[in-house]
Structure 1
């Protein structure tokens, strides 16, 4: 691999996705490698939100539930996400937050496996996944959360496991788990599997249908570019939809929500996992985030994701050796997502120094700096320049400044 700036620019010139960068409002002079935490703003989003607010809400008012399709937005947007995760259009719903969707699906899955007491996950899973699982275990009688290293999960699944709860791409290390193998192992013991796709969707291959996956959740604000706090999504395999019942039986999940009856009857199919009124303005932003994938060949996108990560690793190996920087992510592209994490004894200060020099990554306790690569808008030149700045900071120890050690709420 040629590691010069000119070589990086040549790769950008030959990149079939290079035109997509212009579809995002990226600040000049900033190398944004944090799209795995908050995706960039699509250029079309401000106009779409303005139209939604001024015309659909301001002029058409309540009629827009019908004329603008607001009432169908959870299913319409779910159908747009479905191809990105290998699902059918009627198996995905945009609704609520990732945490709320985890609670709904995890509780429903536990209740669908009476007599089984264990929710099985891994230590170090994304905190909200473990917190929600703990909350479900405390809410339901005789349930418990058990955690084991990911490599031990398959052999630990037995006839007491109700649900296996795992993140497909780990939020910190970037490790990608074998969805097909773990799902098959769970099914062999009669257990269900719930996958968190928050760091997968829109960046790496996901094949829920081909893997015979049961349940999944994911967020809309990372690689899907739906904006801060964007609505999340959930997936329920068609064969399970009418067998599961959401514990949050809100009016939008009713069989006839506008009949306004006192008794609750769950809607058929995926709609039963709706709860309250959908946040239409936020869904308008997510709609534009999803529109960025229109006409994009997903294999091309995945290949670029892997190539960006490979280039970053090669450059760091060459230019940052000997500076206490340790790769935490898999080197094998097939075994990781679209972000890389490096351990450093002063990772927080190093991350802040990078931000001050125009490279936005993020810090994850206790000692990791993460770099996310969004194939739609990250360039090979971005990667080269980011490592050039990183190498300079390490060589000069410019990160070792009291100003960079001062903690802020969000990094």
Structure 2
């Protein structure tokens, strides 16, 4: 692997995933490295949404629920996402925001282990996760213990016999560090806890193998690597072994055993259907379903292999092209510890990201000084990575940013 444009061009010419770039409506002249905040628009989505709006809604009206499969969509789309995260059928459902799904999952996890008074939360997790963990702790009278993932073992040992729900991020949203889900889940189970994994930065980017890893519950958004669009609905995974005891706090008539009886008392449906709530956002849900097609066709394993090579190339370029800049890669160099994006320690990162945007390179920044570059193997090329790094070099060299 050589940090040269010629090497990048050769890799692009031989890339088995190169064809999938055409499956996304990327603006001309733009290098999209911001996909872990919002993935680009898949080519299949506009036609799918137009069909839903004009034919299914416009012509079929209420019949769309039956004639066009709207009613089954939350579990149908859930099963498709389930296959992407290593989950067997009937364990994943789609339909609410990430916040609602997280609240439901963490509260349900606490109810799966009554009498255990400690809720453990990943101290480096995305703010929403931490806010909701604190909210659930207040609501249920639990003690909230926050810890970095590398300190989890000490917390579990200190609170052995007391640990209930444990909310963790599969990939650190700042640094891109990937946690070993199977090993950590076994560690939590050994302490008597119940895991809730946030897969928002993992689903579609890394192989998860939820069933094989013994995951209890998991949540993930639909708008990052799944490319479902802004505000796309989130998914909730619940292992089948927990379904009979799954007591979710947010309940709605779509999750009722007999929804059209309009009964006075809530009786949960069997299986993952009990995790459905009220009427889903059908347009967003079906846009997400259409968006899954390129990822399903390529396969998560293949996307992961390419993303790792893109990451290795980026890290080499930083070491060679940006050696005098003082920038430092904070994402683990070990491929088994790296998620779908690479983060650079970059003073003035927000200003640097803004300057790169002017040059057609879309990145993002996270406080206080991290510049994130998403390396989605479906549409990012090796040449994109080379051009992005040289643009970054020019931004820093031209004094466009006061650091």
* Rounded Cα–Cα distance in structure 1 between residues aligned with 2:283 and 2:255: 20
Decide which of 198, 204, 207 is 1:205's aligned counterpart.
Answer: 207
* Rounded Cα–Cα distance in structure 2 between residues aligned with 1:258 and 1:291: 33
Which residue in 2 is equivalent to 1:302? Answer: 304
- TM, length-normalised to structure 1: 0.95
* Rounded Cα–Cα distance in structure 1 between residues aligned with 2:188 and 2:123: 18
Q: Would you say the 8 A contact 1:320–1:394 is kept in 2?
A: no
| 2:127 equivalent to 1:127 | yes
The secondary structure found in structure 2 opposite 1:265 is coil
Give 1:348 shift: 1.5
Give 1:80 shift: 0.5
Which residue in 1 is equivalent to 2:350? Answer: 348
For 1:197-276, list aligned pairs within 5 A: 197-276=199-278
For 1:72-87, list aligned pairs within 5 A: 72-87=72-87
* Rounded Cα–Cα distance in structure 1 between residues aligned with 2:55 and 2:244: 38
For 1:363-402, list aligned pairs within 5 A: 363-400=365-402
Query: How many equivalent residue pairs?
Result: 400
Give 1:119 shift: 1.1
The secondary structure found in structure 2 opposite 1:53 is helix
Q: Would you say the 8 A contact 2:122–2:169 is kept in 1?
A: no
The secondary structure found in structure 1 opposite 2:71 is helix
Structure 1 segments, 4+ long, off by >6 Å, are none
Give 1:375 shift: 0.9
Which residue in 1 is equivalent to 2:291? Answer: 289
Q: Would you say the 8 A contact 2:206–2:301 is kept in 1?
A: no
Which residue in 2 is equivalent to 1:71? Answer: 71
The CA RMSD measured in Å over matched residues stands at 1.1
| 2:173 equivalent to 1:171 | yes
Q: Which runs of 5+ in 2 are unaligned?
A: none
Which residue in 2 is equivalent to 1:409? Answer: none
Give 1:122 shift: 2.3
Q: Would you say the 8 A contact 2:84–2:296 is kept in 1?
A: no
* Rounded Cα–Cα distance in structure 1 between residues aligned with 2:401 and 2:335: 30
The secondary structure found in structure 2 opposite 1:389 is helix
Deviation digits for residues 151-202 of structure 1 (CA, Å, limit 9, x no counterpart): 1102321211101110001110101111111111111121101100000011
| 2:20 equivalent to 1:20 | yes
Give 1:392 shift: 1.2
| 2:8 equivalent to 1:5 | no
The secondary structure found in structure 2 opposite 1:165 is strand
* Rounded Cα–Cα distance in structure 2 between residues aligned with 1:263 and 1:2: 65
Give 1:38 shift: 0.4
Give 1:74 shift: 0.3
Which residue in 2 is equivalent to 1:155? Answer: 154
Q: Would you say the 8 A contact 2:122–2:147 is kept in 1?
A: yes
* Rounded Cα–Cα distance in structure 1 between residues aligned with 2:315 and 2:153: 30
The secondary structure found in structure 1 opposite 2:165 is strand
- TM, length-normalised to structure 2: 0.97
The secondary structure found in structure 1 opposite 2:400 is coil
The secondary structure found in structure 2 opposite 1:204 is coil
Give 1:321 shift: 1.5
For 1:11-160, list aligned pairs within 5 A: 11-141=11-141, 143-157=142-156, 158-160=160-162
Give 1:6 shift: 1.6
* Rounded Cα–Cα distance in structure 1 between residues aligned with 2:280 and 2:148: 37
Give 1:102 shift: 0.7
